[in-house]
């Protein structure tokens, strides 16, 4: 029999919407041991919460997150809040024996992330980090190709994550500009994704060195009365060395004029290369240096065959999928993990490892030096 998983979600903005959509689609397409029940939606603004709940079918509403995570009716707490709330919400939820799903970056710093990971492990709850780009079929295929040795020894991992929504200096202050609520800016929001993909595809980091910049130091307050000080980075670039000897370059910026959500990865190995661009997420570019010289070149694999990861749940070949499907794939793993109380990935240990790299890059930027990654 399927186990019902009563979900309590905190946050009703962009990620609240993406997660709700993921849960709703899931049972229509995937065989599941755990069935997602959209039980309670939690948020501060009653009106927004009501509209959100009605739209996505959340059964109950709650404006006090503590009451929700303490409720006996909730099995899984889904944290889609600003980053400064991840730690208190997660710790309270763990205390109450709840399974956890947490948006990235995991916490405000490595200390918080480590405490969250250790507490979740001790309590024996299932914990998962939202690193949904691992669940893009083309990137899951990239992992298979790398693991099967198709690329040989990996020499380079280059990644950029470009957005442009802050180029306009009149764009108002939001929580993502204030270090007190966000920790870091483009770094924790966007580098977190490509750091996780690097770990997923290549393995652990050894050392990093980076630079961070705030290009627009003040932005109009949303109240319309005056300006607020921006304290979170607009852009963070860094170089890395991996434990397997590969070199990495990373660039996350909200000032890449013209690019809306451009996550591009290049992996160069001794036997071949792979390139991926999120804005064309059904495709993976593959170069095999063992092909005959006359016909050598990058080929584009359309990752929509039934034999490709996750695709057999969807449409016939060539009937492409999109960004929102990555959440559905991740939630299938989550629901089945909860049904069996099995540990799944990416989990809080992955969140912690990512946080260590994030913090080391910020520290290196301040000290203008290389920082070794401890992987503790």
User: Phi and psi dihedrals of 226, rounded to 5?
Assistant: 90, -170
Contact set for ligand SOE, span 219-248 (CB under 6 A): none
- Least Å distance, CB 261 to ligand SOE, is 6
Task: Pick between residue 261 and residue 289 the one whose CB is nearest to ligand SOE.
Answer: 261
Q: Which is nearer to ligand SOE, 62 or 234 (CB)?
A: 234
To ligand SOE, the closest distance from the beta carbon of 204 in angstroms equals 22
- Burial group, residue 297, by CB count within 10 angstroms (0-12, 13-18, 19+): exposed
Nearest to 353 by CA among 212, 205, 249, 236: 205
Which CB, 65 or 161, lies closer to ligand SOE? 161
Nearer to ligand SOE, 14 or 28 (CB): 14
Half-sphere exposure of 310 (CA within 13 A, CB side): 24
Virtual CA dihedral for 162, 165, 169, 174, nearest 10 degrees? -110
Distance, CA of 80 to CA of 103 (rounded, Å): 6
CB 296, min distance to ligand SOE, A: 34
Residue closer to ligand SOE (CB basis): 39 or 177: 177
User: Could you identify the residue written with the tokens 């870091």?
Assistant: 184
SS (H, E, C) 48-90: HHHHHHHHHCCCEEECCHHHHHHCCCCCEEEECCCHHHHHHHH
If the CB atoms of residues 75 and 350 are measured against ligand SOE, the closer one turns out to be 350
- Name beta bridge partners: 161: 252, 263
CA distance 45 to 118: 33
> How many whole angstroms separate alpha carbon 337 and alpha carbon 331?
9
Question: How far apart are CB 284 and ligand SOE at their closest, in Å?
Answer: 19
Q: Which of residues 152-171 bind ligand SOE (CB under 6 A)?
A: 163
Give the CB-nearest residue to ligand SOE: 189
Residue listed under structure tokens 């755990």: 34
Closest distance to ligand SOE from the beta carbon of 231 (Å): 17
> Please, what is the minimum distance in Å from the beta carbon of residue 190 to ligand SOE?
6
Q: Give the total of residues touching ligand SOE (CB under 6 A).
A: 5
Instruction: Specify the DSSP class assigned to residue 190.
Output: I
Residues 300-359 that bind ligand SOE (CB under 6 A): none
Q: Which is nearer to ligand SOE, 83 or 273 (CB)?
A: 83
Interface residue with ligand SOE, options 51, 59, 147, 261 (CB under 6 A): 261
For ligand SOE, which residue of 189, 234, 350, 359 counts as binding (CB under 6 A)? 189
How far apart CA 96 and CA 92 sit, in angstroms, is: 6
In the complex, minimum distance from the CB of residue 65 to ligand SOE, in angstroms, rounded to a whole number: 20
Work out how close the CB of 292 gets to ligand SOE at its nearest, in angstroms, rounded to a whole number: 40
Q: Under the rule (CB under 6 A), what is the footprint of ligand SOE?
A: 14, 163, 189-190, 261
């Amino acid at each position: 029999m399927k186990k019902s998983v009563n979900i309590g979600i905190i946050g009703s903005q962009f990620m609240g919407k993406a997660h709700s959509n993921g849960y709703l689609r899931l049972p229509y397409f995937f065989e599941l041991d755990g069935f997602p029940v959209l039980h309670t939606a939690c948020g501060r603004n009653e009106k927004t919460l009501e509209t959100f709940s009605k739209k996505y079918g959340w059964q109950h509403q709650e404006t006090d997150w503590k009451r929700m995570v303490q409720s006996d009716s909730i099995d899984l707490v889904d944290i889609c809040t600003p980053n400064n709330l991840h730690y208190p919400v997660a710790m309270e939820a763990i205390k109450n024996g709840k399974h956890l799903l947490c948006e990235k970056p995991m916490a405000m710093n490595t200390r918080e992330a480590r405490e969250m990971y250790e507490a979740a492990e001790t309590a024996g709850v299932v914990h998962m980090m939202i690193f949904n780009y691992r669940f893009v079929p083309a990137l899951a295929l990239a992992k298979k190709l790398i693991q099967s040795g198709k690329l040989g020894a990996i020499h380079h991992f280059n990644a950029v994550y470009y957005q442009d929504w802050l180029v306009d200096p009149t764009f108002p202050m939001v929580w993502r500009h204030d270090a007190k609520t966000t920790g870091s800016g483009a770094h924790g929001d966007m580098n977190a994704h490509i750091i996780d993909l690097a770990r997923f595809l290549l393995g652990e980091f050894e050392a990093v060195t980076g630079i961070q910049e705030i290009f627009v130091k003040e932005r109009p307050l949303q109240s319309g009365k005056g300006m607020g000080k921006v304290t979170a980075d607009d852009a963070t670039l860094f170089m890395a060395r991996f434990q397997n000897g590969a070199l990495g370059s990373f660039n996350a910026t909200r000032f890449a004029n013209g690019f809306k959500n451009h996550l591009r990865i290049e992996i160069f190995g001794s036997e071949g290369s792979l390139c991926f661009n999120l804005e064309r997420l059904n495709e993976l570019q593959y170069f095999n240096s063992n092909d005959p010289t006359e016909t050598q070149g990058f080929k584009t694999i359309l990752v929509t065959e039934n034999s490709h990861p996750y695709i057999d749940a969807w449409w016939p070949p060539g009937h492409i999928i999109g960004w929102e499907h990555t959440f559905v794939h991740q939630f299938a793993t989550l629901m089945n993990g909860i049904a069996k109380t099995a540990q799944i990935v990416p989990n809080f240990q992955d969140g912690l490892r990512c946080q260590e790299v994030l913090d080391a890059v910020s520290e290196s930027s301040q000290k203008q030096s290389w920082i070794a990654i401890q992987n503790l």
